[in-house]
Amino acid sequence: MTSFTPVYPVVWQDDRVLLIDQTRLPAEYSVVEIRLCADMVTAIKTMIVRGAPAIGVAAAYGIYLGAREISLTDRAEFLEALEQVSQSLAATRPTAVNLFWAINRIMKVARATSGSIEQIQAKVLEEAHAIAAEDLHTCQEIGRHGLSVLPTTPQKLRLLTHCNAGALATAGYGTALGVVRSAWAEERLERVYADETRPRLQGAKLTTWECVQEGIPVTLITDSMAAHCMKLGTIDVVVVGADRIAANGDAANKIGTYSLALCAKAHNIPFYVAAPVSTIDFELAEGSQIPIEERDPSEIHTMGSTRICPLGVEFYNPSFDVTPAELIAGIITEHGVFTPAELKEKTQPFQHL
């Protein structure tokens, strides 16, 4: 079996952040150097970096970059300016709660640090490093716990996933693809089925790329083929990531996840969500309260450089949907696997805030 090949989408090096440019994969592997907070804001908005935990890590480093740019010497004024920095990062993408979780965590440390401006800046960078390191470990734990709930028959599973909840979407290793990596290492996996994930094609472009990097067999299907594959009996389990999970277990993830869950239910196939506790928003009682990002219509009216519909058409392009808790067999976290009903009680004590 092939061993884990590290993919790190957000890396601090010397005095800057290195981002794998996810808009160019798989055609081109390139790295973008980010030195300014404004450039991090753009990188998150344009999805050079994407995926809930990854944008949290990126924003954490973005606050440090912003802190470095502030020349004020008065502590109160400095913290006020840092607040503005954090708000510019928070305004990038609305759905993934990890973004706000990481920003809140960094700002809390900044406010709690006494001493000089330099000391506050140093603490902010230290906390960003901690968030990145913790996320990597968290994903490995998600992978480990996921093994305990994967069906035991057949011996080697055919696992369907949606979008990209892989190393590229986290600090490394991945959530849903963390489970894939663990299952592959334990020889429990026959192959991954990857939904292409219209409109931005994270499944086709990124999930297949990660699988190919590691020699994990992967079959690409379009989103509309999933139900057919389930009916034919070629899918044993579905594992997806999440961008925000409400306290009752309703889970927002990439658009198309909800229909996948409905299809899985209809075919009696277990449907799991793999996510860190930082993806759970305990302040929201249910999924209908999760803000859903709407992205530019160009994502759906144009393919490559070709417009695929006539002028005069109207568009609706929600980037996420919410899967109701009753369709979810379990939520695979770094602290174990929980049903939606037990999620709040079992995981809230672990949330770092």
Query: Looking at the annotation, which residues are catalytic?
Result: 243
Instruction: Assign 92 to helix, strand or coil.
Output: coil
Nearer to ligand MRU, 109 or 211 (CB): 211
Q: Is 163 in the site for ligand MRU (CB under 6 A)?
A: yes
Q: Is 202 in the site for ligand MRU (CB under 6 A)?
A: yes
- The 10 Å Cβ neighbour count of residue 130 is 15
DSSP single-letter state for residue 286: S
Nearer to ligand MRU, 124 or 171 (CB): 171
- Integer CA distances (angstroms), 220 to 159, 196, 202, in order: 12, 6, 11
Asked whether the beta carbons of 261 and 238 are under 8 A apart, the reply is yes
**Using CA atoms, how far apart are residues 257 and 5, in angstroms rounded to an integer?**
27
Among residues 25, 43, 52, 65, the one that binds ligand MRU under rule CB under 6 A: 52
Give me the phi and psi of 89, to 5 degrees please.
-75, -35
Neighbouring residues of 80: CB distance < 8 A, sequence distance ≥ 6: none
Nearer to ligand MRU, 86 or 170 (CB): 170
Neighbouring residues of 137: CB distance < 8 A, sequence distance ≥ 6: 334
Smallest separation (angstroms) from ligand MRU to the CB of 203: 9
Q: Is 50 in the site for ligand MRU (CB under 6 A)?
A: yes
Q: What six digits make up the tokens of 26?
A: 């798989």
Among residues 170, 207, 278, 333, the one that binds ligand MRU under rule CB under 6 A: 170
Nearer to ligand MRU, 62 or 241 (CB): 241
Tokens 């640090």 found at? 113
Nearer to ligand MRU, 188 or 254 (CB): 254
Among residues 9, 241, 249, 340, the one that binds ligand MRU under rule CB under 6 A: 241
Among residues 17, 109, 142, 165, the one that binds ligand MRU under rule CB under 6 A: 165
**Using CA atoms, how far apart are residues 44 and 134, in angstroms rounded to an integer?**
21
Smallest separation (angstroms) from ligand MRU to the CB of 170: 5
Asked whether the beta carbons of 198 and 308 are under 8 A apart, the reply is no
Q: Is 92 in the site for ligand MRU (CB under 6 A)?
A: no
Nearer to ligand MRU, 10 or 117 (CB): 10
Among residues 182, 253, 323, 347, the one that binds ligand MRU under rule CB under 6 A: 253
**Using CA atoms, how far apart are residues 117 and 95, in angstroms rounded to an integer?**
32
Smallest separation (angstroms) from ligand MRU to the CB of 146: 13
Smallest separation (angstroms) from ligand MRU to the CB of 22: 8
Smallest separation (angstroms) from ligand MRU to the CB of 74: 37
| Beta strand spans in 100-207 (E) | 157-161, 189-195
Give me the phi and psi of 220, to 5 degrees please.
-90, 130
Q: Is 198 in the site for ligand MRU (CB under 6 A)?
A: no
Q: Is 211 in the site for ligand MRU (CB under 6 A)?
A: no
- The 10 Å Cβ neighbour count of residue 272 is 22
Smallest separation (angstroms) from ligand MRU to the CB of 276: 8
Q: Is 86 in the site for ligand MRU (CB under 6 A)?
A: no
Give me the phi and psi of 297, to 5 degrees please.
-60, -25
In this chain, which stretch among 145-153, 226-234, 238-246, 341-349 interacts with ligand MRU, using CB under 6 A? 238-246
Residues that bind ligand MRU (CB under 6 A): 50-53, 96, 163, 165, 169-170, 175, 202, 241-243, 253-254, 319
